Structures are given as structure tokens and as C-alpha cells.
Amino acid sequence: MPQSFENARALILAHIAPLTGETVPLLDAVGRVLEREFAAPYDLPRFANSAMDGYALRAADARPGARLRVTGYIPAGGRAEPAVAVGCAVRIMTGAPIPPGGDTVIPVEETDGGLAEVVLQGSATPGDHIRRRGEDISTGSLVLAAGTLLRPAEISLLASCGRTRVSVHRRPKVAILSTGDELVEPGTELSPETIVDSNSWALAAAVREVGAEPALLGIARDNHASLREKLRLGLTADALITSAGVSAGDRDLVREVLEELGVRPLFWKIDIKPGRPTAFGLAGKIPVFSLPGNPVSSLLTFDTFVRPALLKMLGHRQVLRPLLQATLQAPVAKKAGRVHFLRVRVGRVNGHLTAISAGDQNTGILSTLLHANGVAVLPAERENFAAGETVDIHLFEPELAPAEA
């Protein structure tokens, strides 16, 4: 029984858990996911300091035209002295500690800039241009939850808190195996009947893009011995992806050998197009994804089923691509029965997303994928979609949002 698209994805995700943590140098943590919540070890700022280059003084002394004696100078990194006496001011730089007695800072451009004496242009309120101790983050507050994606801002915070290493979810090592007697490595001499193995490279690139570590196993031939040898090795990784050899062809042995090696099959067909012959199984906790051989199908099924699983292993909480709505620019027809993933070109008109087929939707046509920046997800039971209709889409690179057409 083929699985529905939704069931298949839910079933996969239900069997995937985030990997355990490892401690890595701070810079290597960018793009990774924090394993344990992080509490601030001290206040930030750690001490009250000036937000401006200017003069620290008592707000009570600040009046337009007031002339104050300048009794000292505190650069950033300098000590908080001398104290500010009544009727006096201390020159202070941005980031320098506020000296005792000072309760406000007047920026230099609101004064005559004097070195021995300073004349003020205006008045001031206590606290002006002072960054209070702990105003940003206070000691012990839970600033980063477990599962936080570490971006430069989080790295900044961790560095401010003195961390040089951080515990993040381990990256899954993902074994990738292409299968087929017709396949040869790229760069080798070609005979008329051979097909260059592109799936290994495409899938490895997709694995790496997600942030996991691809391990290429090469090509297994369509026989038990070759598959057994390569698949056994693949099952030592954190996840295994195979391509081809899972449809109805009489040499589609992948499933058979996987079962022989102890992989428990959960399903082997999904009601989607492309990608119907997609299988999923488990070797203990190791997920095994058997993707269709057609290069377009293997990439689209990776994106739909494997990518979310790997993101979950990496500790991400948001693992599915956001579902957006776009207006079809031309009619589309499909047969009822399966969810179709239509490779589309998504654009933007007056702020609204539009989608149009990116070309020939035959699964043999990779160039359509080259022109696509998203897929439209067309529901199983529907057949005809009119121009102007709204459809669900996923964008491949949301950050490269389509420009206004």
C-alpha cells in the first residue's frame, strides 16, 4: 500500500531523534543548534558605562551655559576615577565605566569640548547616555533555549559571556550510495550505454547544504554481493541514502538486501509524483532512505523527506520548509491520485508571489530543476488548476526571495 505524502513524512519524522551533543570551538558552532539552554554567567553590560564620547557629571549641575571644571579623563578600558564632584565633570569615552558621583553623560557635541573647563549647551536627566549594568541581560537569565540555531548574534552573546567552546548537536554522518550496473563515476571514460552517476554528488551536495556530513560510498552494482558490501558499510553511518533500485524492475534489489541486513521496512511507495518508488526503513535507530534513481526524483524526494529528517537530527525545531501561497500564472493539469511536485519559477508582482511551471515536468528533465526556484505542491485529488488560482509552494532558497517581476 503506498503511503500518502503526509503520512510518509510524519512517519519518517516520528522515527527520527536529534543526535547527542558535542563540544566544539565557538566559531565552529555557527549554523549549528545549541544542545542545552544557556544562562548568562554575569550581567551584560558588566558595569555601568558611557554610551557616548563626552562628559560624565551630575545631572543637577547641567544647565544651558553652565561652566564645569574638568577633573579627569576616562578612556574605554580606563578605571572609573576620579569621582565626579559637585560642579565638576570628567571627560569620558564610549564604553568607559561611569565614575562614582556621575549620573549622566553629556555628548561632546552638546558642549564646547573644553579640556580644563567645559561649557554646557543644555540640561540633562539622570541616566542619559548611560548603559546600566545588566540592562541588556541579567545574571542567570536563560538567554538561549536548547534548540537555538546559533547565528552570529548568538555567537556574539556566547563570546560576551566568555565562552570559547559550546555544546551543539552532533552533525549526522550520512552515507550515500548509488546503485546500478549502468553507472560510472564522473570523469571516467564513457561508453554509449553508460550513465554518469550524478545522484551521489547531488545528494552529497544537498546533505552538505543542510549542514550534515556526506560520506560517499560510490556505486553498488545490481547484485547481492556488491549491494551487501556497500550497504553494510552504509549502515555504520548515522543515516543512509541510496538511489535507484527500488522500483518494479527485476534487478531492483536494494530493498531485498536491506531487509537481509536487518533493515525494518516502514514503507516503499508514496503517492507522489515524482518519487513514487521512495522507501524508508530503520536499522535500529539508523534511518535508511531509498530514493528513486531519476536524478530529478532523487533530489525532490531528498528535499521533501530526507532534508527535514536530517534537520531534526541536527537539533533544528523548524524542519519543514515554510508553506507559502502563490498565484498560478498559467493553467496546470495533472491526473488525480497523487500529490504532484511541480517545479516552478516563483516571482513577485506587487508584493504577491506568482508561480509558473519551470519547464517540461518529465522526471527525466533535470534542466527544469535548474530553472526552478521552488515547487508547487498540488493536492492528490485535484486535476485542473486555472490561471489565477492560488497554490501552495515551497521556495528552495527563501532568503533569495524572488525579485519583483
Ligand X SMILES: Nc1nc2c(c(=O)[nH]1)N[C@H]1C(S)=C(S)[C@@H](COP(=O)(O)OP(=O)(O)OC[C@H]3O[C@@H](n4cnc5c(N)ncnc54)[C@H](O)[C@@H]3O)O[C@H]1N2
Residues at the site binding ligand X, with contacts judged by CB under 6 A: 178, 180, 182-183, 195, 197-200, 243-249, 252, 274, 276-277, 292-295, 297, 363
- Cα distance between residue 373 and residue 86, in whole Å: 67
CB of residue 281 to ligand MOO, shortest distance in Å: 18
Among residues 26, 28, 43, 46, the alpha carbon closest in space to that of 98 is found at 46
CB of residue 206 to ligand X, shortest distance in Å: 13
Nearer to ligand MOO, 294 or 357 (CB): 294
**Restricting to residues 177-196, which ones interact with ligand MOO according to CB under 6 A?**
none
| Cell numbers given for 303 | 528535499
- Contact call for residue 214 and ligand MOO (CB under 6 A): no
From ligand MOO, ligand X, none, which one binds at residue 217 (CB under 5 to 8 Å depending on kind)?
A: none
- Cα distance between residue 59 and residue 103, in whole Å: 6
- Contact call for residue 290 and ligand MOO (CB under 6 A): no
- Cα distance between residue 293 and residue 285, in whole Å: 25
CB of residue 292 to ligand MOO, shortest distance in Å: 4
- Cα distance between residue 47 and residue 132, in whole Å: 7
Q: Which residues contact 369 (CB under 8 A, 6 or more apart)?
A: 296, 299, 300, 343, 358
Residue burial 23-46, b: 16+ Cβ < 10 Å; e: rest = ebeeeebeebbbbeebebeebbbe
Nearer to ligand X, 12 or 168 (CB): 12
- Cα distance between residue 275 and residue 266, in whole Å: 16
CB of residue 278 to ligand X, shortest distance in Å: 8
Nearer to ligand MOO, 111 or 278 (CB): 278
Nearer to ligand X, 126 or 218 (CB): 218
> Cβ distance 341 to 272 under 8 Å?
yes
- Please choose, out of 1-9, 96-104, 292-300, 323-331, the segment that lies near ligand MOO by the rule CB under 6 A: 292-300
- Cα distance between residue 252 and residue 273, in whole Å: 19
DSSP state of 97: B
From ligand X, ligand MOO, none, which one binds at residue 197 (CB under 5 to 8 Å depending on kind)?
A: ligand X
Site string for ligand MOO, 217-236 (x = CB under 6 A): --------------------
**Restricting to residues 258-287, which ones interact with ligand MOO according to CB under 6 A?**
273-277
- Contact call for residue 340 and ligand MOO (CB under 6 A): no
How would you classify the pairing of strands 213-220 and 195-196?
Answer: unpaired
Residue type, 338: R
Site string for ligand MOO, 360-399 (x = CB under 6 A): ---x------------------------------------
Site string for ligand MOO, 62-101 (x = CB under 6 A): ----------------------------------------
Ranges of H-type helices in 268-391: 295-301, 307-313, 367-371
Residues of the shown chain interacting with ligand MOO in the complex, contacts defined by CB under 6 A: 273-277, 292, 294, 297, 363
